[in-house]
Amino acid sequence: MNRLLTAAALVLALLLTSPTATFAQDDGEDSSEIVTTRAPEDKRAVKVRNKFFIKRKRLEITPQIGIVTNNPLNDEVTFGAAITYHFTERFGLEFNGSYAALGGASNTKNLSTAVLSLLPPADRLESIDPAALFTFSAVWTPMYGKINPFGMAVINLDFFFLFGLGYGNEFIEMLSCPGCNQGIPDVEVANAFDSPMGELNHLFMLNLGFGVNVFVTKWLSLRVDMRVLLTYDQVLNYDDDTARETNRNLASPQGGNPLLNRISCHTNDAAICKADFPSTFIINIGGSFWVPGDRAVRSQSKPF
């Protein structure tokens, strides 16, 4: 009787079991049965996760002020702007243009006066005053970071590198101080527009740089970058006796060119010159405005 009741219970259990139910199998058991599964729908999809600021497909417009730090004879300040288009979060292209605001005798350093005081009153000292600078560079942003100084606020920032080409022109100034020997340190300047010097010095440059963007809001950031502009030029050669004597004769009143300088290497075939690789080191500080707005960019961004 007990066996009959047990068999009846098993049959009833099998009849009540859903036809779609499946049984767990041991790992070693082979089965060709496929169980259909479906992931739950994400009704609150997150477009961009853990990223305060998005650069992709945005234009960065940066008014900036620059300081030339390696000019030994003149103080230099530049004013300009950079325009950068960011194709991705890591790569963009930048166009940068600036102009040096200082010039003439007003920005001459004390070192110039000290050197001129050691020269005869009729002698002149060659100095460089940068004018216009234009660069076109690739921008690579490999690092995005956050810092929390003293536990007060989270600061979002990007570190970036610059590599590109540029063009610059410069005034070649010939400094003199006729009164330095009498204790009157009034520096006089003959610049590139004075005869017989002629024209500006034109140079093509290699632009290398590094910088950081500190994001204040989702449309404004503070930007600081440091860049080195490397170039090639021809300068007068005074290294050996023959070259020194030839160039000094050209610079004498008898030679008709008392303002002989590096521009003469391009205009005077009699001048003896040598290759030079001057550099300009500039620190730029500015504020970047980002367009379009953050909401429009996030609506088009894919999750990552």
42 in any annotated domain: no
Buried-exposed string 63-81: b where 16+ CB fall within 10 A, e elsewhere: ebebebeebebbebebebe
- Whether 19 has a pLDDT exceeding 50, the answer reads no
Q: Which pLDDT does position 252 carry in this prediction? A: 67
Q: Which pLDDT does position 196 carry in this prediction? A: 43
Q: pTM for this one?
A: 0.73
Who wins on pLDDT, 48 or 193?
193
78 in any annotated domain: yes
Tokens 């093509």 — which residue? 204
Who wins on pLDDT, 104 or 256?
104
- CATH for 141: 2.40.160.20
**Number of domains, the chain:** 2
Q: Are 123 and 245 members of one domain?
A: no
- Whether 17 has a pLDDT exceeding 80, the answer reads no
Q: Are 189 and 263 members of one domain?
A: no
Q: Which pLDDT does position 37 carry in this prediction? A: 52
Q: Are 91 and 134 members of one domain?
A: yes
Q: Are 294 and 160 members of one domain?
A: yes
Name the nearest CA neighbour of 144 among 61, 218, 51.
51
Cβ neighbours of 152 (radius 10 Å):
7
Q: Are 223 and 79 members of one domain?
A: yes
98 in any annotated domain: yes
Asked if 135 contacts 96 with a C-beta cutoff of 8 angstroms, the reply is: yes
Distance in angstroms (rounded) separating the CA atoms of residues 9 and 252: 125
Q: Which pLDDT does position 24 carry in this prediction? A: 43
Asked if 86 contacts 60 with a C-beta cutoff of 8 angstroms, the reply is: yes
**Least confident window among 144-148, 149-153, 177-181, 291-295:** 149-153
81 in any annotated domain: yes
- Whether 76 has a pLDDT exceeding 60, the answer reads yes
Q: Are 103 and 139 members of one domain?
A: yes
pLDDT classification of 149: cutoffs 50, 70, 90: low
Per-residue pLDDT of 159-206, as tens digits, reads: 999 999 999 998 888 888 877 777 777 887 765 455 444 468 899 999
Would you give the end-to-end CA distance of the chain in angstroms?
A: 67
Residue 258, φ and ψ in degrees, nearest 5: -70, -10
74 in any annotated domain: yes
Q: Are 90 and 180 members of one domain?
A: yes
Q: Which pLDDT does position 244 carry in this prediction? A: 85
224 in any annotated domain: yes
Who wins on pLDDT, 275 or 30?
275
- Whether 9 has a pLDDT exceeding 70, the answer reads no
Whether residue 258 has a cis bond before it, omega within 30° of 0: no
Separation in Å, CA 167 to CA 5, 95, 134 = 100, 12, 5
Asked if 139 contacts 95 with a C-beta cutoff of 8 angstroms, the reply is: no
Q: Are 270 and 282 members of one domain?
A: no
Domain that holds residue 198: 49-229+278-299
Instruction: Dig out the tokens for 266 from the structure.
Output: 């391009």
108 in any annotated domain: yes
Q: Which pLDDT does position 122 carry in this prediction? A: 73
Q: Which pLDDT does position 56 carry in this prediction? A: 86
Q: Which pLDDT does position 65 carry in this prediction? A: 97
Q: Are 221 and 253 members of one domain?
A: no
Q: Are 145 and 210 members of one domain?
A: yes
Task: Name 34's Cβ contacts closer than 8 Å, sequence gap at least 6.
Answer: none
Per-residue pLDDT of 102-117, as tens digits, reads: 877 778 888 888 888 8
Buried-exposed string 4-23: b where 16+ CB fall within 10 A, e elsewhere: eeeeeeeeeeeeeeeeeeee
Percent of the chain with pLDDT over 90: 34
Average pLDDT along the chain: 79
Who wins on pLDDT, 161 or 18?
161
163 in any annotated domain: yes
Per-residue pLDDT of 195-253, as tens digits, reads: 444 468 899 999 999 999 998 888 899 999 999 999 999 999 989 888 888 888 877 66
Q: Which pLDDT does position 211 carry in this prediction? A: 95
Q: Are 110 and 137 members of one domain?
A: yes
pLDDT classification of 263: cutoffs 50, 70, 90: confident
Q: Which pLDDT does position 200 carry in this prediction? A: 81
Q: Are 285 and 272 members of one domain?
A: no
